[in-house]
Structure 1
Amino acid sequence: MIDMHIHVVPPNLPGTGPLHELLRKPVDEVAAALQAEMTAAGVTKCLAMGSWNTGDHDPLGIERTLEIAQRVPGLSAIGIADPTRTDTDHLRRVETQILTGRVAALKGYLGYLHYAPSHPGYVPYYELAARFRLPFIFHTGDTYSPFAKLKYAHPLGVDEVAVDFREVRFVIAHIGNPWVQDCAEVVYKNMNVWADLSGLLVGDTETLTNPDLAQSRQDVIDRIRLVMRYAERPNRFLYGTDWPLAPMPAYRDFMREAVLPEFHDQVFIENAQLLFFNPRRGG
């Protein structure tokens, strides 16, 4: 099983805090907790989001993630694209990090940063994504920050760049929740767009299993099935948890219920394997 959306470092975004107290712990402690969760859930590969604005020495915000990856087999890093930094020196440092071969994808934090996908500040990163065949992930939908602006986090913004940068593989994180049908339309229309199912429920195991919360879970299940039915592309959906915002075993079980059984192999393994780990990156 591949979990393509987790966190092992604080995102360092305006108004978010660390997301979870674990992410401030020493590297060895984070690595041990992640390894235990992966083993319990049967996860063999994970992709972890980096930190924004970590300084010139770490332009994609992945150094601490790579430290943890040395201790956790199967962990890969996702670099953060900063639309406020498009100067030549910064982009040269970004390219140097990509050339190490330790960057699995790039990510833009829509909403948290007040820039639409079509903003010129993202264009150099799309060009790098195309050149190195790296998928480009966008945070979309609800946010953890009162300083975020939701108009920038709407999944319809991804349609514009999917058309203009057709050689780039884009991923709409969190299926654009709550704008899930808009996400479905973007996936349906554009052959270079995927969507991930991470972070649709957050909390502890009790949140994901308590009978008193069954209706809330059913609401999410209904949204997932609507999106996948509308998009008509089960090969474009990816499994992720948003760990440690949700425990891996409980979220896995919840998603096994939400995703129809005939699509399990694609959603839990094959789609992410093709997109992130196949040499041709997305076919």
Structure 2
Amino acid sequence: MTTERLALDDIVAIDVHAHVHRAIDAHEHEHAGSEAMGEYFGIGTMPTYTVPQLADYYRERKMMAVVFTVDSVSQSGKDPEPANEEIARLAAENSDVLIPFASIDPSRGKAGVEQARRLITEFGVRGFKFHPSAQGFYPNDRMAYPLYEVIEEHGLIALFHTGQTGVGAGQPGGGGIRLKYANPLHVDDVAVDFPGMDIILAHPSFPWQDEALSVATHKPRVYIDLSGWSPKYFPPQLVQYANTLLKHKMLFGSDFPVLTPERWMRDFDQLPIKDEVRPLILKDNAARLFGLS
């Protein structure tokens, strides 16, 4: 276990997409759906990590990571586990390697907006993760706009899952998950209506990759994280844009623990990415976006 705190110069990469699936008082593999997700990604039962364990994991690799849970209470009927507050509190204790995001299901309405304000002002979260398919809403649904108003007001980041998802994959009816909500074109409206808010489109957006590239090219504060897919499966147009028009807006993300940073970076090394672009994607773009440099 590595306990020495790291400076930004020590950091070799910033992973903008890592999930916390276990509270500190929960048993390993207690996270619902860990077996199904592990099967989908071909890794067996998906391992689960607490925030301190994630901190150790990334510190040993000299990386930073954005960490969050997913609140899908409108579909699951359950509060997220671990709670946003636990993630933020423990991430603050490991601020050299962890950047806390929160997740609030837009269906929570005014209570969710109040929670967002409290998480920002009292717990120091740096952004919010939305999973439209798991939360059952279109990103441009006006129901979510009060949350976006709070995020924009505080100069924080909204991260949206886009494209197909491993959640519910292979289960009867896809576990009730509707893929239509995750078309990144719906986020284009959000970028128009909240021009002061930074937005990250998470994952190569299969089957809407061109839509994601179009939105990120057209809207100056929209970025793309490259998590959830091994880079060897990236479509050619994604690689092309990463090397050219969007080289300052592409972000390294793993989707840990279903894909490890080592696996992602090993396959990334095999892509025809320009030498001057690699450090932008792995660290520099995220450091600038998060105000670290």
Out of 153, 161, 177, which is 1:148 matched to? 177
In the alignment, does 2:20 pair up with 1:8? yes
Q: Which residue of 1 aligns with 2:257?
A: 244
Unaligned residue ranges in structure 1 (runs of 5+):
202-216
SS of the residue corresponding to residue 84 of structure 1 reads: helix
Q: Percent identity?
A: 23
CA apart distance, 1:37: 4.9
Aligned-pair distance for 1:51? 3.2
2:236 matched to 1:222? yes
Cα distance in 2 for partners of 1:51, 1:157 equals: 20
Give matches, 1:1-283, under 5 Å: 1-9=13-21, 17-18=33-34, 19=37, 21-23=46-48, 27=50, 31-32=52-53, 35-40=56-61, 42-43=62-63, 45-52=64-71, 61-66=83-88, 68-69=90-91, 72=94, 73-87=96-110, 89-143=111-165, 144-145=167-168, 146=174, 147-201=176-230, 218-220=232-234, 222-228=236-242, 232-258=245-271, 259-278=273-292
After alignment, is 90-99 or 236-245 more displaced? 90-99
CA distance in structure 1 between the aligned counterparts of 2:211 and 2:72, rounded to whole angstroms: 30
CA distance in 2, matches of 1:219, 1:56: 34
Aligned AA (1:276): F
Deviates more, 1:143-152 or 1:72-81: 72-81
Give the SS at the match of 1:86: helix
Q: Report the count of equivalent residues.
A: 253
Task: String of CA shifts for 1:16-44, please: whole Å, max 9, x gaps.
Answer: 72446432x6x4xx63365235423x31x
Query: Normalised by the size of structure 1, how large is the TM-score?
Result: 0.78
CA distance 1:152–1:227, change in 2 (3 Å):
farther
Q: Secondary structure at the match of 1:186?
A: helix
Summarize the Cα distance change of 1:233–1:57 in structure 2 as closer, same or farther, 3 Å threshold.
Answer: closer
Which secondary structure state, in structure 1, belongs to the residue aligned with residue 239 of structure 2? helix
Distance, in Å, in 2 between the alignment partners of 1:70 and 1:170 is 23
Contact 2:228 2:254 in 1 (8 A): yes
SS in 2 for 1:94: helix
Q: For residue 209 of structure 1, what is the aligned residue in structure 2? A: none
Alpha-carbon distance between aligned partners in 1 of 2:128 and 2:209, rounded to the nearest angstrom: 22
CA deviations 1:106-142 (Å, max 9, x no partner) are 1211112221111112101110111110010100001
The residue identity in structure 2 corresponding to 1:154 is N
Mind listing any 5+ residue stretches in structure 2 that lack a counterpart?
A: 1-12, 24-30, 39-45, 169-173
Deviation at 1:59, TM superposition (A): 11
SS in structure 2 of the partner of residue 245 of structure 1: coil
Structure 2 length as normaliser, TM-score? 0.76
The answer to which structure has the higher helix fraction is 1
In structure 2, give the amino acid aligned to 1:253. Answer: R
CA contact (8 A) 2:191 2:219 kept: yes
Report the Cα offset of residue 50 of structure 1: 1.9
RMSD: 3.0
